[in-house]
Amino acid sequence: MEFKINKVCFTKAISDVSKVVSTKALLPVLSGIKIVVNSDHLILSGSNSEIAIERVIPLILNNNIVLDVIETGSVVLSAKHLSEIVKKLPGDIHIKMLEKQLVTIQSEEITIHLNGFSSEEYPTLPDIDLSKHISIPSNKLLEIIEQTMFAVSKNMSRPVLTGINITLSSNEISFIATNSQRLASRKYSLVSDFEESFTISEKSLRELSKLIKNEIHLITIYFSGKYIVFKSDDLTLFSSLIEGSYPNTSRLFPKDAKTIITLNTKQFLQGIDRACLFANEWRNNNVHLEIENKTKIKISSYFSEIGLIEETQPIKEITGETNLKISLDANFLMDALTAIKEEEIKLSFSGSMGPILIEPINNPSYIQLISQVRAN
């Protein structure tokens, strides 16, 4: 195995792949990155028990020669050392396997000898089942992930709620996350000739969102009973699925609204953020909302020993009952408002202790729910 490679390109690919590699893997080979050098491209792979990532580097990228293969072959090198080394090298990198997994890395006047592992010791990734797949632009996928991911449960007692449920029907894909006290649901229109429903861990989607953040590609999602694969031209992410049936969340949405108000998203977010000053010291993180004179909403929070904060904001529009006073978890409300890109939001309050419904104005594809809490 011997090749010369562009530093920037190699560093980026190693950084992407090493994101999922644990430095504390029980088997040392699993703390490594597998490098496979073929005659016309190089493949880097890294994995943990739930996620595997593969990055392909071709010979030519954006009209520049980035890879020169001198001899094909493969090896596994420590992810931690490899990523630290390549970052600190001054220029293009020449890598050669001398003998049994002893690898030399050279750049200008610098020589590094690194002991590797045989690539045969590294687990093989499953073949991709090509039969069931859909495609979605990476920027849309990123938006959908970011608008739902935060609402998952952190409590491992119901593992299925720690993941995001993805349901594919003939005309849309929908992502749902809930921890029983709040819920985020995002739909996206597309055409599919098959139906699927499964739950994927928040961690896998978080890694995926980091990888697709800065580039716009078409991502193809391949479905199989046991795992899911997200694939673009040069990147493949395999993720295991969370077992167990996801609860039916449609019954959680209140049928009738007693009061509906329209607010400016950013201004309301800033108000809740200020109210969090005291809410965070209080055991329930509560913030209180109250309609005043049909035209204003009063946001307040208090902590008896320290003080209280209150402010009023104009209501843009109001329908229904104008006498309203409720308490919510301030952090849930902050997360919900942060995820909304639209300028205005609609809050719908159902009677008594029912959840409130938060929707961006002019975007029916995104709905969130937050349970009320008892005021202290």
> What residues line the site for a second copy (CB under 8 A)?
78, 81, 84-85, 88-90, 108-115, 270-271, 273-274, 277, 305-313
Q: Which is nearer to a second copy, 23 or 171 (CB)?
A: 23
Residues with Cβ within 8 Å of 253's Cβ and at least 6 positions away in sequence, in order, are 357, 367, 369
Q: Which is nearer to a second copy, 109 or 193 (CB)?
A: 109
Provide, rounded to whole angstroms, the least separation between the CB of residue 81 and a second copy.
6
Provide, rounded to whole angstroms, the least separation between the CB of residue 18 and a second copy.
15
Q: Which is nearer to a second copy, 49 or 115 (CB)?
A: 115
Q: Which is nearer to a second copy, 218 or 306 (CB)?
A: 306
Provide, rounded to whole angstroms, the least separation between the CB of residue 278 and a second copy.
8
Q: Which is nearer to a second copy, 40 or 84 (CB)?
A: 84
Contact of 246 with 237, CB cutoff 8 Å: no
Q: How many residues does the chain have?
A: 376
Provide, rounded to whole angstroms, the least separation between the CB of residue 302 and a second copy.
8
Provide, rounded to whole angstroms, the least separation between the CB of residue 226 and a second copy.
36
Provide, rounded to whole angstroms, the least separation between the CB of residue 305 and a second copy.
7
Q: How many whole angstroms separate alpha carbon 280 and alpha carbon 124?
A: 47
For 260-289, give one letter per residue: b (16+ CB within 10 A) or e. bbebbbeebbebbebbbebbeebeebbbbb
Parallel, antiparallel, or unpaired: how do β-strands 102-107 and 93-99 relate? antiparallel
Q: Which is nearer to a second copy, 199 or 285 (CB)?
A: 285
